[in-house]
Chain A
């Protein structure tokens, strides 16, 4: 999966990939004070593509709000909401909305799920539908945080650790391997990293083509940018 941290105040964005075996569960957001947990499980391609590249994507998200007693499981097939012992299932094939006292869900058919947990967090899960007969690829999900300002300063996770910003400086831009993607040195969290200018795509407004977002790419699973390394975020279960 491709991670993107857009920082409008710095007029720039950071990005990195996390690659691991399909089936791995990663913690994306954890805020113990607010009682919020977001985990995602990766899936791979149906089979290894001829170029030998093993791609992984998120195929399942588990979202918990302990205070509200809400538990949400989003897969590429459906969305299951549990609250106070009651369970509801929504299908991606329907446009639907569900409104509770503290939880709003809005499903746009075959496209997106917007979740608002009152006074806490708002996010969108994008469904990427892949042609069923595609020899290698299969449906997968994207996770976009829309509003996280109410989360506590201790919020962490692969995305959550950036919710309150990150300071960095880029210097010494130089030609990279690819003439369109220069390299540079980034000073972040007390370390000097070699980063590469590139693009990743934001699919919120155009789920088919996405919109290219220029960003500084941090190599090696985001090492040096994320706290610890990516294996520290591996979880044993979705909830």
Chain B
């Protein structure tokens, strides 16, 4: 709140990570010192990848707790609330990585309020590190401000870094890190004076992102298997593997809508990406508007001369015309298949197509389901597709589904001065495949409810995570095997897994890890079911939806299928008012992103003011 009659006396962010599974609790308490009731806002940014699991408000000794319900059922309540003029909808998109949870309540004179929000996520390893991001913006000096994180990694912590975008040289010594072999403790607790922008003024320095980055030790080729309370998780990212050569076709949209900055940034990024190709890689370039062009009709070895020639070609790419995504991808597949047939590149190499586009197909085949079908049929599981969706107008869901149907993934590239860096960053993530056709095997008679255990590739700096439920507590013969294709020969490792004694590993801790592995398994299973809901056959979609919903409710995760219903306290002026916290889908985020940041409104439906001024005239 900006209202100085409301004193925020405590803000605490407590994050506990056990084997990459992060459980974060944000607690904030405020006191209304005024003689009249005041509206108090609680706004928290949480990572898009996280699921809210709990929310409560404690007001005048009474606790109001959120309840996770099936989205459709919650929506009915919501619609009732909207129809009676009440507000609803607590979660909005916020920037590139986060979404914002916000709620406001009226607090009586001289009363306290405490908000507690809990969310959970499985940290993903990218470019060799995990990242925990907390956005803090208390808006006023806080008596007790604290960010504290405890990380427990049985594999051992290889490195850890903690910093804040708002942390000046004076505040830097306040970031305390204690890292022992398997445990890290990070804390940041500035006093009120240390939070001040300047001596004697009320402004706070605390406004920005607090980041913790770390990685774990990777000694074992088999990876790390943890078994806790009837669930197991296998983290697979073996050390010291040579990279597998790749065949890559870059498919670049040069239609009219790419004009200006986007085209310029694409050329810039491509020049760097081409430089980063390894000499044993083969590559091709397809550019398209409504006309499809190629740099060369077949894949070319990434020798210095060829790369230099390709860079010359990239510099000539000019924007023009309509968008024929189908034709361009068909051409790329054709180049790749011809190469395979001619056996030009190494047999063990990995094949991938990287599509960069900013728009909807409007030339050639323009039906997106038809394009998805054509691409899937043409690729036939022989190569992966990675899509980069550039800008706000791109149909991201279409690209996302198409990528996942072809064992790849999509990434949104946000328009901005750093778009070139985003493009290069994405390429780096997939530039170095280490293994292909990775199969992880566990004894059929001992496990069930396994998450995906076949992966098309393992990339350098990433990690494969498989989790499952044990059907038998006797672990005498829990044999784990991994089969994959390496650059020269097949990669085969086998090993025996055993349950870890967490209370022995962390004897001084209370037994806090009871259900972490189970929740990690549930989180991963739900994420994969949600993915199947988009990409599977009609029957698979139905089953995946039903199962994901059931698990979301069972584990109290706010996913795209569930909502958290929060009932606000009744006041003199207003009736009891249900509020809804949803998990946004990418489409909803995209829409919100176009409209800009969240602004609390005085009256009426929620509306997000655009980030730049808008002037218009229209009818009603």
Contacts and interface: CB of A to CB of B under 8 A. Distances in A.
Interface stretch (A82-90, A201-209, A224-232): A201-209
B602 A143 contact: no
Given A99-B320, A212-B604, A214-B601, A142 B618 contact: yes
B612 A28 contact: no
A37 to B, nearest CB: 15
Instruction: Identify whether the interface residues of B are mostly helix, strand, loop, or mixed.
Output: loop
B441 interface: no
Given A6-B609, A13-B609, A159 B617 contact: yes
A182 B603 contact: yes
A197 B603 contact: yes
Contact of A8 (B85, B255, B362, B613): B613
B609 A143 contact: no
B295 interface: no
Given A97-B321, A99-B321, A197-B602, A142 B617 contact: yes
A200 to B, nearest CB: 7
A7 interface: yes
A200 B256 contact: no
A9 B599 CA distance: 11
A5 B596 contact: no
B257 interface: yes
B60 to A, nearest CB: 28
Contacts of A142: 616-619
B595 interface: yes
Nearest to A173: B602
B615 interface: yes
Interface in A180-238: 180-182, 197, 199-203, 205, 210-214
A2 B614 contact: no
A162 to B, nearest CB: 6
Contacts of A144: 614-616, 618
Given A106-B257, A205-B595, A2 B610 contact: no
A205 B618 contact: no
B322 interface: yes
Nearest to A57: B619
A92 interface: no
B619 A2 contact: yes
A143 B611 contact: no
B137 to A, nearest CB: 16
Instruction: Kindly state the interface size class of chain A when it binds its partner.
Output: 35 or more
A159 B615 contact: yes
Contact of B607 (A116, A126, A143, A213): A213
B602 A1 contact: no
A211 B256 contact: no
B500 interface: no
Contacts of B618: 1-2, 4, 126, 128, 142-144, 200-203, 210
A2 B617 contact: yes
Contacts of A147: 612
A115 interface: no
A4 B619 contact: no
B607 A214 contact: yes
A120 interface: no
A144 B595 CA distance: 14
Nearest to B320: A99
B609 A11 contact: yes
Given A97-B321, A99-B320, A199 B605 contact: yes
Nearest to B616: A144
B97 interface: no
A55 interface: yes
A163 B596 CA distance: 19
B609 A8 contact: yes
Contacts of B602: 173, 197, 214
Given A197-B603, A205-B591, A28 B617 contact: yes
B594 interface: yes
A40 interface: yes
B259 interface: yes
Contacts of B604: 180, 197, 199, 212, 214
A226 to B, nearest CB: 12
Contact of B617 (A3, A11, A95): A3
Interface string B437-451: 000000000000000
Interface in A1-36: 1-9, 11-13, 28
Given A8-B596, A214-B603, A145 B256 contact: no
Contacts of A197: 602-604
Contact of A104 (B256, B607, B620): B256
A4 B616 CA distance: 5
Interface string B349-362: 00000000000001
Interface string B290-327: 00000000000000000000000000000111100000
Contacts of B612: 8, 147
Given A57-B619, A197-B603, A4 B259 contact: no
A203 B611 CA distance: 17
Q: Which of B85, B612, B614 has the most CB of A within 10 A?
A: B614
Contacts of A3: 615-617
A205 B618 CA distance: 14
Nearest to B599: A11
Given A6-B610, A144-B616, A202-B616, 7 more contacts: A11-B609, A28-B617, A97-B257, A106-B257, A144-B615, A158-B617, A212-B604
16 contacts: A2-B618, A2-B619, A6-B615, A11-B599, A12-B609, A28-B617, A57-B619, A95-B366, A104-B256, A143-B616, A173-B602, A197-B604, A199-B604, A200-B620, A212-B605, A214-B603
Going nearest first, the 5 A-B pairs with the smallest beta carbon separation are A142-B618, A144-B616, A6-B614, A57-B619, A99-B256
Interface of A: 1-9, 11-13, 28, 40, 55, 57-58, 95, 97, 99, 104, 106, 116, 126, 128, 140, 142-148, 158-159, 162-163, 165, 173, 180-182, 197, 199-203, 205, 210-214
Interface of B: 85, 255-257, 259, 319-322, 362, 366, 591, 594-596, 599, 601-605, 607, 609-620
